[in-house]
């Protein structure tokens, strides 16, 4: 069986699928092995608005974020399912000292004038970013992968070297799974709870990150609005908490009174694959077992969608040096 493919990608979330597509575009024969269908990955729960949530500045991270922004903007222009450019407002409770580090990735970020915000906010930023509806986008990624000759292998592995049975080169895009698969204790879940309400006609995403009661955001989509959220480090429980849901609804309605009385249509919990040292994107100096080359691409926390295409480019660059042209 080994050698049927040039590369096997472990993980079918947004990181695994974007990487698989870029590898195909570079000429590789690619398989994706996944323990669960894409519809059950963390990515499927993501609010999926481009924004480097809780991500520290690094030159390479800005590059990944910029490349991803540009790719989604291109996809939105080509009407790829689930991808739209959405006006966004980030509201601040203190003064805006300059612009955020990620502003360099965005062509239209501007500082809000004081008269454009109301108490308790003092300033903020307005910008346009890609918004991705994962229930439509993940199937599109999978179909694009299959249409280019990709193979999806539904199999749970418990060690990365097991993936070597399918290909000599392995890409580890296992997200939270990397904690067990390669013994990376820096990887831990950051629990995020969301409330979905019917959309009464809102278009603009709004964020209030300084809210002392918790991380607060309102992200409209085509038929619903994602209300959030929570950022609970080390929590593995995926059952929605009624108390957290009530708090999210209260904070979001204070932020946007138009939400009062909007019918609740769902509750979701996702576990962000956070990594203390930031994203691990590198070739493994000592690949395990029969694997000839291993490249890791995991630990994106809440910024998986924001960094996905840039990380796919970087991962492909690391792999392509080792894949003979087929």
Does some domain include residue 310?
yes
Whole-angstrom distance, CA of residue 171 vs CA of residue 291: 10
Number of H helices, E strands in the chain: 7, 15
pLDDT at residue 322, as a whole number? 59
Does some domain include residue 1?
no
Whole-angstrom distance, CA of residue 129 vs CA of residue 131: 6
Does some domain include residue 125?
yes
**Which sign does the torsion angle of CA 277, 278, 283, 286 carry?**
positive
Residue 212 to residues 57, 145, 165, 179, 277: CA-CA distances in angstroms? Answer: 23, 43, 50, 31, 26
pLDDT at residue 73, as a whole number? 98
Instruction: For 320, list phi and psi in degrees, rounded to 5.
Output: -60, -30
CB burial class (10 A; 0-12, 13-18, 19+) of residue 153? middle
Q: DSSP characters for 145-176?
A: HHHTT-EEEE---SSGGGGGGT-SEEEE--GG
62 and 102 Cβ atoms separated by less than 8 Å: yes
What distance, in Å, lies between the first and last C-alpha atoms of the chain? Answer: 17
Does some domain include residue 237?
yes
pLDDT at residue 301, as a whole number? 94
Does some domain include residue 326?
no
3-class secondary structure, 28: coil
The boundaries of the domain holding residue 56 are 7-320
pLDDT at residue 3, as a whole number? 58
Q: DSSP characters for 274-320?
A: EETT--EEEE-SS--TT-SEEEEEE-BGGGHHHHHHHHHHHHHHHHH
**b (16+ CB within 10 A) / e for 244-254:** bbebbbebbbe
pLDDT at residue 2, as a whole number? 47
7 and 294 Cβ atoms separated by less than 8 Å: no
Q: In 10 A of CB 79, how many CB atoms? A: 8
Whole-angstrom distance, CA of residue 43 vs CA of residue 49: 12
Q: What is the pLDDT along the chain (326 residues), one digit of tens a residue?
A: 445 899 999 999 999 999 999 999 999 999 999 998 878 888 888 888 999 988 889 999 999 999 999 999 999 999 999 999 999 999 999 877 789 999 999 999 999 998 999 989 999 999 999 999 999 999 999 999 999 999 999 999 999 999 999 999 999 999 999 999 999 999 999 999 999 999 989 999 999 988 999 989 999 999 999 999 999 999 999 999 999 999 999 999 999 999 999 999 999 999 999 999 999 999 999 999 999 999 999 999 999 999 999 999 999 999 997 554 44
Instruction: For 83, list phi and psi in degrees, rounded to 5.
Output: -110, 120
29 Ramachandran zone, left/alpha/beta (phi>0; psi -120 to 50): beta
3-class secondary structure, 188: strand
Does some domain include residue 145?
yes
How many domains does the chain divide into?
1
Share of the chain above pLDDT 90, in %: 86
Whole-angstrom distance, CA of residue 270 vs CA of residue 251: 20
Does some domain include residue 2?
no
- What residues pair up with 274 in beta bridges, in sequence order? 188, 300
Whole-angstrom distance, CA of residue 194 vs CA of residue 199: 15
3-class secondary structure, 21: helix
pLDDT at residue 326, as a whole number? 41
DSSP state of 19: H
Does some domain include residue 325?
no
**Domain at 119, CATH number:** 3.30.9.10
Q: What is the pTM of this model?
A: 0.94
């Amino acid at each position: 069986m080994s050698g049927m493919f040039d590369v096997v990608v472990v993980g079918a979330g947004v990181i695994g699928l974007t990487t698989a597509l870029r590898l195909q575009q570079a000429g590789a024969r690619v398989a994706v092995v996944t323990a669960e269908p894409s519809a059950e990955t963390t990515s499927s729960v993501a609010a999926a608005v481009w924004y480097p949530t809780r991500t520290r500045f690094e030159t390479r991270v800005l590059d990944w974020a910029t490349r991803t922004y540009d790719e989604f903007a291109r996809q939105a222009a080509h009407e790829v399912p689930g991808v739209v450019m959405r006006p966004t407002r980030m509201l601040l409770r203190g003064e805006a000292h300059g612009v955020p580090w990620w502003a360099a990735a965005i062509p239209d970020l501007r500082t809000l004038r004081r008269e454009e915000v109301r108490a308790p906010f003092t300033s903020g930023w307005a910008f346009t970013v890609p918004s991705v509806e994962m229930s439509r986008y993940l199937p599109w990624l999978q179909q694009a992968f299959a249409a280019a000759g990709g193979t999806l292998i539904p199999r749970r592995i418990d060690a990365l070297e097991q993936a070597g049975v399918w290909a000599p080169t392995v890409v580890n895009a296992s997200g939270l799974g990397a904690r067990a698969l390669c013994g990376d204790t820096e990887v831990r879940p950051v629990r995020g709870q969301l409330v979905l309400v019917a959309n009464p006609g809102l278009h603009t995403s709004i964020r209030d990150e300084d809210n002392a009661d918790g991380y607060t955001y309102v992200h409209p989509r085509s038929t619903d609005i994602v209300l959030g959220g929570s950022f609970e480090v080390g929590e593995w429980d995926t059952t929605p908490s009624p108390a957290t849901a009530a708090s999210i609804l209260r904070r979001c309605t204070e932020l946007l009174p138009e939400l009062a009385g909007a019918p609740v249509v769902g509750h979701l919990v996702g576990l962000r694959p956070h990594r203390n040292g930031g994203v691990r994107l590198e070739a493994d100096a000592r690949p395990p077992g029969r694997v000839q080359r291993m490249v890791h691409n995991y630990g994106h926390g809440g910024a998986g969608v924001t960094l996905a295409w840039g990380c796919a480019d970087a991962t492909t660059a690391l792999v392509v040096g080792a894949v003979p042209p087929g």
